[in-house]
Structure 1
């Protein structure tokens, strides 16, 4: 943390004092927020033009931004409500995401080609929908999704009509709330007139981690029609050498990551108790030449899902935040500027970057292919009109 001396003229100082008093905030936070906002605007205005534009909703720490930027995309808007994730995002991209997306008007979001969102999974109420259906009245996504964060994804899609979108969620989305959540999502996206494709894909093969997530991709029917297919063929992008745990481990690790005797005894007793009951609950200590369990946001609590064996006579240890970053496929130059606890939560909530990069490539390729087909049809129609006019002149 650095300190900076700042001189203000009397009028500006009085305005600042009034604002901080009325809003219950410190002058330091106001000035910091103002500077961050200014730097973010400058970053956007100076950013080179990409081959396409995209927005990053429920952005977390920017894993999906990295993926789409690698395909030549330019991020024109981002949103993330968690202030610690915002800090990590800003420290890596020099851009502060806007906060609560529910408070952002659709018209204030820039036009974009692709919408990207890792939206939270919430249950939907179907009482009102069922009533309307029984009365023979049509329902739209607003009736079905109001009160959930998925509604905000839908309202932005409806208002901005991106060429395509990619959504990411937990693999159990289809079974969530007895299948109702998935039913509402599919129907809502269909009513918005998008051709939708979905697949559950494991990050294993890109990184040494078993991590299944559902990816939902859609393309605008009003622009492209629906006479096309989309394949989640990511296998060709997997590295030839299958990544294993030892690939991401640091050679020297601080002793603070080693479990205390008390915590290690607790985890062993907990595992033994559940094993006796025939349950599979317990800590995970993967082989160095294998893969880990799924890294979760609760990893900071005890690290039990992924423990690193340190040999006889020494308690196992947690992964370090940098090792968690590697486990999710983040580049080595990705900055970790928050506490270990916050970092564990952030990486546990994030995505497998190389997997999303592969899907992003497929989405962009399909979008370009569909755009080219439309352009080809336009040129063909122009030639037909020209030939028709030529024939009419000759006939005359």
Structure 2
């Protein structure tokens, strides 16, 4: 377990204070800071991600502490006091009820429960807002038992819980749906009947009368983007070595289905340049490439293998060119265009961004949910919503 404490952050300690569990490369921090919070403390177990974190925020921060190591070795007494919000982007496998769920004594398989344990150990210092971010599949895994277990765990700590599904596509041209559980010790009295952020497949958990839930009144979020990846694609000259050579390009084109091939040929024949993203998949035991029909990136994933990494296809003016998506594009698609990529290995950067939360989603929640909750103005938002609807 190693710690770093040093340099002033962009937002001083007079702002509402935040804890950042499962911090990764710090994208939740970027979003919280944009919303007016000061992230005072962060933790992650992955050394490569912590390297990126320090590369971005510096090694000499005076108003922030980064703890690199297993959170199972931490205790509530190790955490700072006067915290307003705890953010946790738990690994998606950690909430599973499959097997015996050994829980608090485990390591990789129990990260969520370690998060709950630390909040419990904070006692009266527990923050009034606690958040879990996870994959959307948490809502339906094990027939809804997993999300119910997570909500129940927050309930036992005194939190009422709201559940939201937000796709990063509402802010950046990347399809990246994520689930957010927002726990409040002082939930609003007002309730929102309908919201695009609480789709039908989330209603099961709200209908569970054994759970303490609320539905905060929130403004309408931005509509999902229908295009825009082309504006994020890095421009490269035709002789850039990152474009695939002729043999690899031919293999790519030969793997396309008839529908995919027709799509590519139409775009190739256009008098203007356009970009698409593509994933490699296995169909009937054979590797094939699938090119998206729209100008939107597929969900960025951790680069553990070639099949998880997206390719960028440039089409138009009678030509086709293909290359791997770059770290700069990954950063931009996560709403972190200005992230410091200097000195990073390509796979390190791709893994860090592919395993993170999109910055503008966190910022939107911070501005429209977390801050109003702390100020006690979520019910005022309800009144304003009713006035606008009258």
| TM-score, normalization by structure 1 | 0.69
Residue of structure 1 in register with 2:114 after alignment: 152
Q: Is the 8 A contact 2:170 2:221 kept in 1?
A: no
Residue of structure 2 in register with 1:391 after alignment: none
Match among 117, 129, 133 for residue 88 of structure 2: 117
Report 1:1-396 matches (<5 A). Answer: 40-43=4-7, 48-95=12-59, 96-111=66-81, 112-122=83-93, 123-125=96-98, 148-160=110-122, 161-220=126-185, 224=186, 227-229=189-191, 230-231=215-216, 233=218, 235-236=220-221, 244-252=228-236, 255-261=240-246, 263-268=248-253, 270-272=255-257, 282-286=288-292, 290-298=295-303, 301=306, 305-311=310-316, 312-370=318-376
Q: Is the 8 A contact 1:283 1:305 kept in 2?
A: no
Q: Quote the Cα distance in structure 1 between the aligned partners of 2:101 and 2:22.
A: 27
Instruction: Give the 3 Å change call, closer, same or farther, for CA 100–267 of structure 1 in structure 2.
Output: farther
Q: Quote the Cα distance in structure 2 between the aligned partners of 1:301 and 1:149.
A: 27
- 1:310 to partner: Cα distance: 4.5
In terms of fraction of residues, the more strand-rich structure is 2
Indicate the structure whose relative CO is greater, using CA pairs within 8 Å and at least 6 residues apart: 2
- 1:173 to partner: Cα distance: 0.8
User: Structure 1 residue runs of 4+, over 6 Å off?
Assistant: 44-47, 141-146, 273-279
Q: Is the 8 A contact 2:160 2:184 kept in 1?
A: yes
Q: Is the 8 A contact 2:116 2:153 kept in 1?
A: yes
Partner of 1:56, secondary structure, is strand
- 1:226 to partner: Cα distance: 6.4
Q: Is the 8 A contact 1:210 1:294 kept in 2?
A: yes
List alignment gaps of at least 5 residues for structure 2.
60-65, 192-214, 261-281, 380-390
Instruction: Give the 3 Å change call, closer, same or farther, for CA 162–362 of structure 1 in structure 2.
Output: same
In terms of fraction of residues, the more helix-rich structure is 1
Instruction: Give the 3 Å change call, closer, same or farther, for CA 372–180 of structure 1 in structure 2.
Output: closer
Instruction: Give the 3 Å change call, closer, same or farther, for CA 158–292 of structure 1 in structure 2.
Output: same
Q: Is the 8 A contact 1:144 1:184 kept in 2?
A: no
Q: Quote the Cα distance in structure 2 between the aligned partners of 1:354 and 1:79.
A: 21
- 1:171 to partner: Cα distance: 0.9
- 1:165 to partner: Cα distance: 1.3
List alignment gaps of at least 5 residues for structure 1.
1-32, 130-140, 374-396
- 1:307 to partner: Cα distance: 2.5
Which protein shows a greater Rg? 1
Q: Quote the Cα distance in structure 1 between the aligned partners of 2:71 and 2:21.
A: 8
Residue of structure 1 in register with 2:210 after alignment: none
Partner of 2:12, secondary structure, is coil
Figure out how many residues of one structure are paired with residues of the other and give that number: 320
